[in-house]
Structure formats: C-alpha cells, structure tokens
Structure 1
Amino acid sequence: MEDLSTLFAVAMISLLIGAAIGYFILGRLKPEQQNRAVLEKQFSEMQQQQQEYQQEVSTHFDRTGELLNELAESYRSVHNHIVEGAQNLHASGISPLQALPEGRPVLESKSNKVVPSAPPLDYAPRQPGKKGALHEEFGMDSEKKTKEQIDPPIAPHL
C-alpha cells in the first residue's frame, strides 16, 4: 500500500509540474493574446489622444473667432473715430470718409436673375451651303491644283 500511495503522490506531483510547464509554454507559444491586449491598449490611447486633439482644435477656432470679432470691433471704433475727427476738423465740414455701421454688417442679397447660358459647342457650326469644320476639305482652297500646276520648290540663294 505504501508503494501505491508513493506512486500516486509522484504521479500527482508530476501532473502538477507538467501542467505548470505546459501553461508557461502555451503562454510563450501564443503571443497573439498578449499582442492583442497591447494593441487594444494602444488603440484606446490613440482614440483618447484623437479626442483631445479634436477638442483642442475646436477650442482654438472658437478663441480665434472671438479674437477676430474683437479685432473687427476695434477697427470699426478706430475708423469711426477718424471719420468723426475728419468731419469735425475738415475745413468744409464734409469728409469723404463714412462711418461704419455698428454690429455685424448685413450682406445685401441682390436677386439678379441670370439666364443660364447654353453649353459651349465642341464644333464649329456649319454654314448653309458650305462644308463643315469636320469635313476633310475644310479650309482648303476652292480650286484644287493638279500635279502639273504645282510649282516646284525654289532653292534658297546663297
């Protein structure tokens, strides 16, 4: 009986040691799970960075818009001050400068009804009784010279 219990204990210890070794070997052979966890962490970090960047861009353009509005108001104030001074100090009391209206300018909408034009033609229109631009003799002299009437080339004089 003692041999049987010793054999059983050795078998159990061997089984536990084998399971532990198998677990570590399996962990080394399957790095996909480890890589997946690392990639998921990197992906979540990148998403967070992207959201922070978008928030920074949005905040930047909001502030830029506010600053541009302040600049426009400052320009309007300076311009109107110059107009007032020009009207008060000009000899005739009439200044060529005009004050800018307060607030944001309203764009006037002119309802110009534009008649749509015809699309451009991709060919020369043919005149009645004449050959069109796509005809092989278009632009050639009306009288054709025969081979006998063709003048020979003249040599250049040296």
Structure 2
Amino acid sequence: MSAISSMIFLLIGVAIGFFLSRIASKPVGSDANMKQELEQNKAELDSYKEQVQEHFATSAQLLEDMAKQYQGIYEHMASQSKSLISEDVAQPQLFADYQEKLELDETVESSEAQPKDYSNQPSGLFTEAQRKAS
C-alpha cells in the first residue's frame, strides 16, 4: 500500500505542478498581442508628436502674420493721423512715439554712427603687452 499511495501522491503532485505552471506562465498569444499593442501605441505617439509640431509651426506663422498686419495698421494710422488731423485742432498728436521713432531712424540711417554695441572702453580681454604686440 505504501507503493500505491506513493504513486498516487506522485501523480497528484505532477498534476498540481502542471496546473500551477500553466497558470503562472503566459499564453503564447499574449506576447503577440502585447507587441501589436506596443506598435499601435508607438504609432499613436508619433502621430501625436507630428500634430503638436504642426500645431506650433502653424501657430508661429499665424502670430508672425498677425504681428506684420498689426504693424501695417499702426504705420497706416500713424501716417494718416498726421495728414488728416490739422495742427489747428487742440488734440494730442496721435502716434507721436511712432512718428518720433521714424524720424530718429531716418537720422540714424543717414549719419555714419558707431554700432549700438560698440564701446570706446577697452574690454579687458587683452593685457597692455598683447595690445602693443598686435
């Protein structure tokens, strides 16, 4: 009886081991499903990245166009306000800051001035001996 009970316990152990190994291991089909899902997620992420990039490029272009249109309107209003509003009327001059800027730009362009980033002071990059050598 001891040999028969040993065989029964051995068969029960093998059966339990078999079922536990089946439960613990993944089915072969789930790997293929996970790979497919991974590829789908990668494709969706790439598509989303392209949409974001396109959105920012379009937004930047639209903002640039809007700035140019605003500048054109401002220039038009500044030039027309000077010619349409007579100086006899006691109203503040509209767009005075822009007109002053235009006049200043015209005088700076006509004169040969130093660049705005130029300094008459030494930068301190070279010692006195190095300046004399060059």
Length-normalised TM-score, structure 1: 0.42
**Bigger Rg, which one:** 1
Higher helix proportion (structure 1 or 2)? 2
Length-normalised TM-score, structure 2: 0.49
